[in-house]
């Protein structure tokens, strides 16, 4: 056999074990030996049943994503499943960990599936801009029905073993030694005798196509320009309206189209980019232990951060200046968990467990046993320095001291304490208990072990971590400022908030900049501008009128009776026209293309500058920031990946045009952007 596929026997039961760590992906070097094993066991009369299992922490997690876009090496996964289904003796997949994508599709080629109680099963290909390409869209409906299959495949969300058993996807669920249970299960099945019906020959049952199509239409509305969800729905519909072979052929055609698409390349880029972002030099570094976490500030950010840590299993000491403010903060946290319980996303028991993680205090001394302390106090340098002065006095040796500042100079704060090596930034995004992105800000003197410790911690609390350097706004907010630098000019020159927002939503953003401003609160930007002596004629006037957005019922849009979606406000449009007239600007028609050029091209350009300054280590890190922190459309892979799709030369040409028109620095093409146009890569060092 091979190092990757081994056969063992328990008398007449054959156990095929795949061992391709870390996730048993069905790489080429697995598929060949697996095919040989299946053929030999199929033809071996002494074998009564065949079990397919995996070594290590999980069953097969899918096809090998690194092989996409390269010539397919035979046998491919589909050929393996055809061979598997030609076997008349009983075949059983023994699933632990996560059976995903091609892994679950292989299991669907078996007559039976048994699972460890903690196992998860899913077809997440849609998250890679694909659909299950080895029969998953045709076989899964035959076990769980068309609508359940539709939901599983279009969402890409795995289900647990118990749910899978109830749905008919697995035939038995076991606790304990799965291999032994699987052998006993297989022996019993073989004893009872066949024939054993392959999944392909089973019936998907009655499908109410009206209900199916309604469900598919609802899912399509959420696709926001992504092709894969629509293809998934079509493939599942084919499974219950065409013959098996016709549906399989149609699935293949859809897969071939998707795998070559820019959207799938973008989403596969993001899959690896997120994992790459968490890789920092760790050789010889011993991470510090984080037992208890202290959070200073129980407001919106502090409360959300405290919840993020409690959700990740850390005990939290939450500190506020007074009992009244502390109680209010803890009350909000309890309310947030209660909402999750009412929505069914959290059990009562889990809510109790998480609340039990919290200890409230108004005394800094109570933070003395914390291994990590995060402050989320008012964004003011003097206030931050006062807080860190107190922490410097009471925190235990080796405790990591983190600031949640979104743009203040962390090096300046670090210079004010005796232990700058223990200091760094943890820039959470609001709501901190929900948003995936965590910018980990490495200050000049941050110790490598402190950095490695918090990168590891980020994974435990379910965050997507990106290590960034110190500058105003780090990566995300600095680029956001560049993206928004022309917003007022576009309004004054004739574009309405609705037209600008529509250009963004048509591009694939969940919402445009004015909708986002109204949602977050226009007063936040107003406060930032005042702190930095900046002005914005229209936005400042709106704030002076108390129009802060949704929370005041009026911002750039009007929100009737607390509606979430705003409607255009004639008063705002009059204000814009008045301000334009004051500046002698004659309004004109502004198209979506110009809006994108004057917002997203500066965004890319600022990213190039950030790379030049080594504030971000990789272009893909910037993509991870923007997709996970700001809703950049995943089908475009993030601003830096999208620049490759758009064409760096075109971006430079248009930036030059707007630079000539406006003289603004944000339009001056960065040298690295010009290099990207020449070599087609963002690599900043000579090694490329
Ligand atoms: N192919 C190649 N490498 C993979 C991989 C895969 N399918 N899955 C993970 N890796 C690498 C990953 O890059 C990382 O590498 C290491 O394994 C550990 O991963 C035909 C077309 C299984 C839930 O989409 O969701 O089948 O950084 O850090 O957090 O229809 O990995 O160590 O060098 O994520 O414990 C469908 C993708 C493929 C599942 C484990 N399957 N993987 O999470 O570890 S397409 C998927 C995951 C397909 C068929 C279609 C997760 C995980 P490195 P990790 P983890």
Q: Dump pLDDT digits (tens) for 591-640.
A: 999 999 999 999 999 999 999 999 999 999 999 999 999 999 999 999 99
Percentage above 90 pLDDT, the chain: 90
Sign of CA dihedral 413, 414, 419, 423: positive
Which residue, 459, 421, 457, 466, is CA-closest to 316? Answer: 457
Percentage above 70 pLDDT, the chain: 99
pLDDT confidence of 578, banded at 50, 70, 90? very high
Residue nearest to atom 15 of ligand 1 (CA): 275
Q: In the prediction, which pLDDT does 351 show? A: 95
Q: In the prediction, which pLDDT does 224 show? A: 85
Letter string b/e over residues 589-608, b meaning 16 or more CB atoms within 10 A of that residue's CB:
ebeeebbbbbbbbbbbbbbb
pLDDT tens track for 444-496: 999 999 999 999 999 999 999 999 999 989 999 999 999 998 999 999 999 99
Q: What is the dihedral of CA 554, 559, 564, 566, to 10 degrees?
A: -90
**For residues 204-209, average pLDDT:** 86
**For residues 553-561, average pLDDT:** 93
Structure tokens at 35: 């095919």
- What is the bridge-based pairing of β-strands 316-319 and 358-361? parallel
In this predicted structure, the answer to whether residue 687 has a pLDDT above a threshold of 50 is: no
In this predicted structure, the answer to whether residue 130 has a pLDDT above a threshold of 90 is: yes
Q: In the prediction, which pLDDT does 564 show? A: 79
C-alpha 19 to ligand 1 mean position (Å): 15
Q: Residue written as tokens 């979430």? A: 564
pLDDT tens track for 251-276: 999 999 999 999 999 999 999 999 99
Residue nearest to atom 25 of ligand 1 (CA): 61
pLDDT tens track for 412-424: 999 999 999 999 9
Atom of ligand 1 nearest to the CA of 130: 21
C-alpha 254 to ligand 1 mean position (Å): 22
In this predicted structure, the answer to whether residue 66 has a pLDDT above a threshold of 60 is: yes
pLDDT confidence of 685, banded at 50, 70, 90? low
Which among 65, 126, 130 is the best mutation to test ligand 1's pocket, defined by most ligand atoms within 8 Å of the CB?
65
What spatial distance separates the first Cα and last Cα of the chain, rounded to whole Å?
A: 39
In this predicted structure, the answer to whether residue 688 has a pLDDT above a threshold of 50 is: no
Which among 61, 70, 158, 456 is the best mutation to test ligand 1's pocket, defined by most ligand atoms within 8 Å of the CB?
61
- Of 125, 251, 597, 646, which is the active-site residue? 125
* Start-end of H helices in 94-242: 102-108, 136-144, 146-155, 161-167, 178-192, 209-221, 227-241
How many C-beta atoms surround the C-beta of residue 155 within 10 A?
Answer: 18
C-alpha 35 to ligand 1 mean position (Å): 22
Atom of ligand 1 nearest to the CA of 278: 27
Provide DSSP, 630-673. Answer: S---GGGTSHHHHHHHH-HHHHHHHHHHHHHHH--GGGS--HHH
- Of 85, 105, 320, 486, which is the active-site residue? 105
Residue with the larger pLDDT of the pair 46 and 70: 46
C-alpha 551 to ligand 1 mean position (Å): 41
Is 646 tagged catalytic?
A: no
Name residues whose C-beta falls within 8 Å of residue 197's C-beta, 6 or more positions apart in sequence.
111
DSSP classification of residue 203: -
pLDDT tens track for 325-336: 999 999 999 999
Atom of ligand 1 nearest to the CA of 136: 30
pTM > 0.85: yes or no:
yes
C-alpha 133 to ligand 1 mean position (Å): 16
Which among 27, 62, 259, 274 is the best mutation to test ligand 1's pocket, defined by most ligand atoms within 8 Å of the CB?
62
What integer best gives the mean pLDDT of the chain?
95
Q: Which residues are bridge partners to 440 per DSSP?
A: 426, 467
Q: In the prediction, which pLDDT does 317 show? A: 98
Residue nearest to atom 28 of ligand 1 (CA): 275
In this predicted structure, the answer to whether residue 367 has a pLDDT above a threshold of 90 is: yes
Per the CB < 8 A criterion, the answer to whether 585 and 493 are in contact is: yes
Residue with the larger pLDDT of the pair 494 and 1: 494
Pocket of ligand 1 (CB under 6 A): 22-23, 25, 61-66, 77, 98, 100-102, 105, 124-125, 128, 130, 132-134, 136, 272, 275
Residue nearest to atom 41 of ligand 1 (CA): 62
pLDDT tens track for 271-312: 999 999 989 888 899 999 999 999 999 998 999 999 999 999
How many C-beta atoms surround the C-beta of residue 385 within 10 A?
Answer: 16
Interatomic CA distance for residues 636 and 155, integer angstroms: 19
Q: In the prediction, which pLDDT does 88 show? A: 96
C-alpha 61 to ligand 1 mean position (Å): 6
Atom of ligand 1 nearest to the CA of 255: 21
Is 320 tagged catalytic?
A: no
Name residues whose C-beta falls within 8 Å of residue 571's C-beta, 6 or more positions apart in sequence.
none
Q: Which domains does the chain have, with CATH numbers?
A: 5-260 (3.90.226.10), 293-471 (3.40.50.720), 495-582 (1.10.1040.50), 592-679 (1.10.1040.10)
C-alpha 29 to ligand 1 mean position (Å): 16
Q: In the prediction, which pLDDT does 686 show? A: 45
Q: In the prediction, which pLDDT does 1 show? A: 64
pLDDT confidence of 684, banded at 50, 70, 90? low
């Amino acid at each position: 056999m091979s190092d990757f596929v081994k056969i063992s026997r328990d008398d007449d039961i054959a156990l095929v074990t795949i061992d391709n760590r870390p996730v048993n992906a069905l790489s080429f070097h697995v598929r060949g030996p697996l095919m040989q094993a299946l053929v030999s066991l199929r033809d071996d009369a002494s074998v009564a049943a065949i079990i397919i299992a995996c070594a290590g922490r999980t069953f097969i997690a899918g096809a090998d994503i690194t092989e996409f876009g390269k010539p397919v090496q035979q046998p491919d996964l589909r050929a393996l499943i055809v061979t598997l289904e030609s076997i008349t003796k009983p075949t059983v997949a023994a699933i632990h960990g996560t059976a995903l994508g091609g892994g679950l599709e292989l299991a669907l080629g078996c007559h039976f599936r048994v699972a460890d109680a903690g196992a998860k099963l899913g077809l997440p290909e849609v998250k890679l801009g694909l659909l299950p390409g080895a029969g998953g869209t045709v076989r899964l409906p035959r076990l769980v029905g068309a609508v359940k299959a539709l939901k599983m495949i279009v969402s890409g969300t795995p289900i647990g073993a118990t749910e899978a058993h109830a749905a008919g996807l697995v035939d038995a669920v076991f606790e304990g030694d799965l291999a032994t249970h699987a052998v006993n299960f297989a022996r019993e099945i073989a004893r009872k005798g066949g024939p054993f019906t392959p999944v392909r020959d089973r019936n998907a049952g009655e499908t109410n196509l009206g209900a199916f199509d309604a469900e598919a239409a609802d899912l399509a509305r959420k696709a926001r320009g992504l092709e894969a969800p629509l293809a998934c729905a079509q493939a599942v519909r084919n499974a219950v309206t065409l013959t098996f072979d016709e549906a399989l052929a149609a699935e293949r055609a859809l897969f071939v189209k998707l795998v070559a698409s820019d959207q799938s390349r973008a989403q596969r880029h993001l899959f690896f980019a997120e994992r790459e972002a968490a890789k920092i030099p760790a050789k010889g570094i011993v991470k510090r232990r984080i037992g208890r976490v202290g959070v200073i500030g129980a407001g919106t950010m502090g409360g959300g951060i405290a919840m993020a840590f409690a959700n990740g299993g850390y005990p939290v000491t939450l500190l506020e200046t007074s009992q009244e403010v502390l109680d209010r903060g803890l009350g909000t946290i309890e309310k947030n968990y209660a909402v999750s319980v009412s929505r069914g996303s959290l059990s009562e028991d889990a809510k109790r467990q998480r609340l039990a993680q919290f200890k409230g205090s108004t005394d800094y001394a109570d933070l003395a046993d914390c291994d990590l302390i995060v402050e989320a106090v008012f964004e003011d340098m003097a206030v931050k320095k006062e807080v860190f002065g107190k922490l410097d006095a009471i925190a235990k040796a080796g405790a990591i001291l983190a600031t949640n500042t979104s743009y203040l100079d962390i090096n300046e704060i670090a210079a004010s304490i005796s232990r700058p090596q223990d200091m760094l930034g943890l820039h959470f995004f609001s709501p901190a208990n929900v948003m995936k992105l965590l910018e980990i800000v490495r200050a000049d003197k941050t110790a490598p072990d402190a950095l490695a410790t918090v990168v590891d911690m980020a994974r435990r609390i379910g965050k997507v971590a990106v290590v960034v350097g110190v500058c105003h706004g780090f990566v995300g907010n600095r680029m956001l400022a560049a993206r928004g630098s022309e917003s007022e000019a576009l309004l004054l020159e004739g574009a309405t908030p609705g037209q600008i927002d529509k250009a963004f939503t048509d591009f694939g953003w969940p919402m445009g900049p004015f909708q986002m401003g109204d949602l977050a609160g226009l007063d936040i930007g107003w406060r930032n501008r005042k702190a930095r002596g900046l002005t914005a004629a229209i936005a400042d006037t709106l704030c002076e009128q108390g129009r802060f957005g949704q929370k005041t019922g009026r911002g750039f849009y009007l929100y009737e009776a607390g509606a979430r979606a705003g409607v255009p406000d004639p008063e705002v449009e009059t204000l814009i026209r008045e301000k334009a007239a004051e500046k002698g600007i004659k309004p004109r028609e502004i198209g979506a293309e110009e809006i994108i050029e004057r917002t997203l091209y500066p965004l890319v350009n600022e990213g190039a500058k950030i790379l030049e300054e080594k504030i971000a280590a990789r272009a893909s890190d910037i993509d991870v920031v923007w997709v996970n922190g700001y809703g950049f459309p995943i089908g475009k892979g993030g601003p830096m990946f999208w620049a490759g799709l758009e064409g760096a030369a075109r971006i430079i040409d248009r930036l030059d045009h707007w630079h000539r028109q406006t003289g603004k620095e944000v339009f001056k093409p960065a040298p690295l952007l010009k290099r990207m146009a020449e070599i087609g890569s963002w690599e900043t060092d000579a090694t490329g």
